[in-house]
Structure 1
């Protein structure tokens, strides 16, 4: 995925990376509640309390503003009973104050705490209601602290000293670190900046707090409000204005899990919208909360590609943002090269204590973002991105092809490969970028330079997509890139295929000695539909991906359970990633293997139900029969852009709408047998026009509302 070699699950990679005790562990977050409106996010316990521990806090961009927000009534924490999302950027927490009110089993004092995260801060409304038979008097306090910890310090399990506050106007507290300013205001509250040398109300001294004294008559309620505002002029990402760049589809499906998953996923995607500080009009999706709420080339590209059925505006913004930062020089330290699309954007160098990883603020260590950029431009064009927008990006397309032809194959063997030239960057630079992700069948690690299987498929597809664009817009080079793709396919067929216990399949990669890395992994599913495989080869791959060793969990395992490196809780060697499964689902459908696609999609729907319809970044690859529900991966981001986008892919594949706007036609190819029952979506967009697509119980598909001049053709 996105990440660094401080990958979740590898906690500082391995013992070899830890030079001295104590061994610091990345904080877990699977049981935390995220409330997000990018670039601001709040992570708390299920009770709504933000404690000074782990990754809890209110974050803005890549810095933590508040490290503690703890609500007390008469010095006692309320008892939590429920929490639930309440729309994009909003969460409701329900708790009880059982020490107040009548003395009988039914609670009589209830708190509803509604947290709303905005673009540059957070507001909380605390409604306290009493059904007690007599007046209830109490003191409500909110204890606060601020440490300005950078996200990489939090991620590595490090600590930061709390920053001292200062009082402002009545009910106001201030913190400052460099250019960042944090202001907390409590309506009608007394603000106490605290004093380490004193104690108040019998509580430990020194707490910074807001305080309200309240009295509730029988069957009345009181509402308290407070807010935090964050001014961060140095942030590299900002909140975009306006409404989302995609449609809000109306979905009716017999399988209600699909409608619920899509509804929650669209809320999550709305909360992950971002723009660069200098170009607020071009919107992209931040990768995920909390570690990756910024621009990530691969993640942002895949998420935009998966959302194309809802419109091309997000794709356009993502393409332009990355085009502006396209590489122009050779720099081994950052991985930059002419024409290359970047990997990751941060405020400053991403350096982890106790680890050799040091990524510059603008880091280019990705092998696949450049071909994915090309294919997103092509696919957006096919979905109806205006010609003038496509034409404006053709110079960047040609520069990307320059990288593919001149820099993507450093040893000249005809394969796209990577090696970290800086010795401080990512050792692996595909989407599985943890240090142990590329393993042979016996579990041993492959040594770089490494040529990944799926990257050859991306490059093949990108060359053909680029040829189609160059030809359509009257630019030279189409024949060259078609020939380039054909030669790639032949080389791939000759070098990558291996024999395993379950049959013949493409290897995960070639290592530095050009040996096939012979583990069976989900990577080969990304080859489906790219064209680099023949129909017979696609059938072989589809059969293996549907085998129990790969697909007996809630989706597709990243590695076969028969391989020596497999572990269900490995970040990239046995876990299940929703976006990975969704990409393979789409490839299976494009290649005509609908039954396998439907089975994997059902796994994601079952997982979505278990996770409250907010799919995490990844979860364990356990067998369904063993646990009955997916086991969380304890450091997974949630929400995560491409995990949320997987819901759109499932709906799209079920309906099978494949437009080619330049050619004036639409192909309808729904999954055979209507595996999710009747499905209807109003709000898919073709050339900016909303259309209705439906599949009946008999599996027949229909589309209405197409733009003038578009015709429907059979598969």
Structure 2
């Protein structure tokens, strides 16, 4: 069965909980609607009735992290006439252990109004993986009424309790909480009910640490940037998670509803993109993943010594219709380990305190051990993957759907597969590790610089192809070491890794800005000129905001301002269309002046790295690149200020709050830097 659609649902999120409802606020027993907490649906029905009827919805408004306000009308109550006189406002707020709702009836009627307000509730305890598969047919669990105003459900150690002060609770039939309300003329009444969840088996919990960033303020000529950053920061705040044994180490859950848990690659990229807001989130993410770093060879889980994990669940997770099930702790990712190394390096450059960096160096050395060994099973010098378990992911880069790695003429590559961008990540990781090893007086730096140099030569000989696009880096090498010759966004991830010469970077930048990849609302995952292209393919033609942001940031840093600005404009146009909450992905159709991007109907919203993309757009325009250990800061904004004047306050370098501004003339200034850091305008 196909997975349920998400694009028209309203999500309210405060990790590890997420509530998905219709635009009217009603949670109905259909599809993916419900309240989920730590991979379990703990509420499958929450239907508000007034006198046995559903109010008519007129508005919903996001009201900050974990809060949504729904407004509806009870037009059968109050004064006769065309104007409604009884309004029903429903404020949903998630809490660390569940959810609460405040219900307000407000009357402008000339006479008194009486009504019975009822909330119908049900709980089916469905696993998120069953809901995602479309096979969640679990009947509601039986309810008990342990108190006059209370309902309760139990299953396998999970306990859910609903309480409505002043309500009458009934567990018979459809469980309900009910109140009798009497409003005087022009009066109002407020009611409240809450849901509490006890879940001792949860593998993720709410973050206990204070918010990892301060008050961030962005002012811009282009108000779309301001609105996008504001909304994205609220979403990012709602995605903060921790492990039960270390609630002070925060990481970001990947996305709602399917991926609200620890994902190595996603959590790393999100933390890396948020480094301009400070290093505390990066530090928490690094430590969480270091504690779960691979220690043994296990083909069943993909674990290997030094390897960074991919995904953490409370139980095995099925992969659609394939029949495969990922283990609860799964290591099937080829890129999380080099990305972990570079996150540690970049956090150090942004000012992560040296004792915290030093504590993670043994894990760095273990990760290098993986790169030098298990990452290259056939010894050809490239990092590659193959699922030997038979039940894991067939593709293990960020484009991990089964058909993601395709030739120009549409055929699929067979593993083992060496992805282009992963070689770039590995090259950058080797150089980043060498810098850290040198700085902290540990051996091995020369070995890893030599490793990077050899990889550079091998890559140029094996990956570059020449076709109808002209010369470009292939997407991958297949099992026969043939270049997979589709033109994809993966090539953009090579920028800034050191694996391209200046001339090669210019060639890649031109292709990225060309019509095959960049005529939509951002960067297509695959060129429209390739036969595998489809605008609503998950990885072969759609647009992912994080992918676009990573590439535009690299373009900006490498000096390709026009190309970066074009991608940024695409993202901002998409953000406006999606109410400034960028989804996981959307359609890769060409830009339509009369419309907006087509939603990908099963996309997660919010998604951590999509929300973080907002900060990447602003950061790329500002061009602040600190090197705290080197006592210098590079200030290189986008040439000519193509996005207009921009100012950001609340950024952090070495724990100090700084402000950066770019004027209409393209000149940049920074204030608040720690003493001793010198500002440069060139490398």
TM-score range, shorter chain: over 0.9
Q: Bigger shift: 351-360 or 527-536?
A: 351-360
Structure 2 partner of 1:180: 158
In 1, Cα distance between equivalents of 2:75 and 2:593: 39
Runs (4 or more) in structure 1 with deviation over 6 Å come to none
The answer to whether structure 1 residue 114 and structure 2 residue 91 are counterparts is yes
Structure 1 partner of 2:132: 155
Aligned pairs for 1:621-700 within 5 A: 621-625=588-592, 628-700=595-667
Determine helix, strand or coil for the equivalent of 2:188.
strand
Q: Deviations over 1:354-378 (max 9, x none)?
A: 5321111110000000000000000
Aligned pairs for 1:168-567 within 5 A: 168-194=146-172, 206-351=173-318, 355-567=322-534
In 1, Cα distance between equivalents of 2:434 and 2:322: 43
Residue 350 of structure 1 deviates from its aligned partner by 1.5
| Preserved contact between residue 375 and residue 461 of structure 1 (Cα < 8 Å) | yes
| Preserved contact between residue 208 and residue 242 of structure 2 (Cα < 8 Å) | no
Determine helix, strand or coil for the equivalent of 1:663.
coil
Determine helix, strand or coil for the equivalent of 2:49.
strand
Residue 281 of structure 1 deviates from its aligned partner by 1.1
In 1, Cα distance between equivalents of 2:622 and 2:670: 9
Determine helix, strand or coil for the equivalent of 1:662.
coil
| Preserved contact between residue 149 and residue 163 of structure 2 (Cα < 8 Å) | yes
Structure 1 partner of 2:539: 572
The answer to whether structure 1 residue 167 and structure 2 residue 134 are counterparts is no
In 1, Cα distance between equivalents of 2:157 and 2:293: 28
Residue 699 to residue 113, structure 1, CA distance change in 2 (3 Å)? same
In 1, Cα distance between equivalents of 2:399 and 2:68: 32
Residue 549 of structure 1 deviates from its aligned partner by 1.1
In 1, Cα distance between equivalents of 2:138 and 2:404: 31
Determine helix, strand or coil for the equivalent of 1:393.
helix
| Preserved contact between residue 303 and residue 331 of structure 2 (Cα < 8 Å) | yes
Q: Deviations over 1:333-389 (max 9, x none)?
A: 000000000000011122358532111111000000000000000000000000000
In 1, Cα distance between equivalents of 2:161 and 2:592: 51
Structure 1 partner of 2:45: 68
In 2, Cα distance between equivalents of 1:343 and 1:208: 40
| Preserved contact between residue 440 and residue 446 of structure 1 (Cα < 8 Å) | yes
The answer to whether structure 1 residue 56 and structure 2 residue 52 are counterparts is no
The answer to whether structure 1 residue 27 and structure 2 residue 43 are counterparts is no
Q: Deviations over 1:591-646 (max 9, x none)?
A: 11011101101111111111111111000011112762011110000000000000
Structure 2 partner of 1:3: none
Residue 558 of structure 1 deviates from its aligned partner by 0.4
In structure 1, which of residues 111, 125, 133 is the aligned counterpart of residue 110 of structure 2?
A: 133
In 2, Cα distance between equivalents of 1:243 and 1:271: 13
Residue 691 of structure 1 deviates from its aligned partner by 0.8
In 2, Cα distance between equivalents of 1:492 and 1:242: 43
Residue 474 to residue 353, structure 1, CA distance change in 2 (3 Å)? closer
| Preserved contact between residue 528 and residue 588 of structure 1 (Cα < 8 Å) | yes
Determine helix, strand or coil for the equivalent of 2:322.
coil
Determine helix, strand or coil for the equivalent of 2:99.
strand
Residue 69 of structure 1 deviates from its aligned partner by 0.4
Aligned pairs for 1:607-618 within 5 A: 607-618=574-585
In 1, Cα distance between equivalents of 2:592 and 2:269: 32
| Preserved contact between residue 319 and residue 326 of structure 2 (Cα < 8 Å) | no
Residue 243 of structure 1 deviates from its aligned partner by 2.5
Aligned pairs for 1:91-106 within 5 A: 91-106=68-83
Unaligned runs of 5+ in 1: 1-23, 195-205
In structure 1, which of residues 90, 96, 99 is the aligned counterpart of residue 67 of structure 2?
A: 90
In 1, Cα distance between equivalents of 2:660 and 2:557: 18
In 1, Cα distance between equivalents of 2:378 and 2:284: 34
In 2, Cα distance between equivalents of 1:433 and 1:351: 14
Determine helix, strand or coil for the equivalent of 1:445.
coil
Structure 2 partner of 1:584: 551
Number of residue equivalences: 681
| Preserved contact between residue 619 and residue 636 of structure 1 (Cα < 8 Å) | yes
When the two chains are superposed, the root-mean-square deviation of aligned CA atoms in Å is 0.9
In 1, Cα distance between equivalents of 2:28 and 2:202: 25
In 2, Cα distance between equivalents of 1:324 and 1:554: 39
Structure 2 partner of 1:203: none
In 2, Cα distance between equivalents of 1:298 and 1:246: 21
Structure 2 partner of 1:12: none
Residue 187 of structure 1 deviates from its aligned partner by 1.4
| Preserved contact between residue 153 and residue 352 of structure 1 (Cα < 8 Å) | no
In 1, Cα distance between equivalents of 2:380 and 2:178: 69
In 2, Cα distance between equivalents of 1:282 and 1:422: 32
In 2, Cα distance between equivalents of 1:462 and 1:362: 24
Q: Deviations over 1:187-227 (max 9, x none)?
A: 11100101xxxxxxxxxxx2111111112122111111000
Residue 74 of structure 1 deviates from its aligned partner by 1.3
Determine helix, strand or coil for the equivalent of 1:426.
coil
| Preserved contact between residue 179 and residue 233 of structure 1 (Cα < 8 Å) | yes
Q: Deviations over 1:491-538 (max 9, x none)?
A: 110110111212111000000111111001001100011110001000
Q: TM-score, normalised by structure 1?
A: 0.94
Unaligned runs of 5+ in 2: none
